[in-house]
């Protein structure tokens, strides 16, 4: 899964990626399951995308009931910073989480659907 931030500078996106990475690691996601990376190998930024091993994340977090906490971390970041987050999952599955996202439950379901292979 890849998380990017819409409508912010590269510097702001990097800060947001680091904040979310820290929050996910605090939930128990291993460091190897979270990577901050550049949008392109030619860019000079320190990293504006957050790459997450979705299978690892949901497997570990599901065991501890943490999918809700994972979703809450994303929702908190979105609402606190007034930023829109784009999430890309398996295949061409993707979703956008805006500050107006209605509920935590909908975001949890969205994260679960991003993991599902195309039927």
The lowest-confidence range among 40-44, 59-63, 99-103, 105-109 is 40-44
* pLDDT value, residue 25: 85
Q: Distance (Å, rounded) from C-alpha 114 to C-alpha 46?
A: 27
Q: Distance (Å, rounded) from C-alpha 53 to C-alpha 24?
A: 12
pTM: 0.79
- Residue 104 pLDDT grade (very low, low, confident, very high; cuts 50, 70, 90): confident
């Amino acid at each position: 899964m890849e998380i990017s931030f819409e409508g912010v500078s590269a510097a702001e996106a990097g800060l947001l990626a680091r904040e979310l990475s820290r929050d996910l690691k605090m939930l128990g996601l291993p460091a190897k399951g979270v990577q901050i990376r550049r949008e392109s190998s030619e860019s000079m930024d320190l990293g504006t995308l957050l790459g997450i091993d979705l299978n690892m994340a949901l497997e570990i977090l599901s065991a501890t009931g943490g999918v809700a906490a994972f979703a809450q971390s994303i929702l908190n970041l979105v609402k606190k910073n007034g930023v829109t987050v784009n999430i890309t999952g398996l295949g061409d599955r993707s979703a956008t989480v805006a500050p107006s996202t209605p509920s935590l439950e909908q975001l949890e379901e969205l994260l679960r659907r991003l993991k599902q292979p195309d039927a």
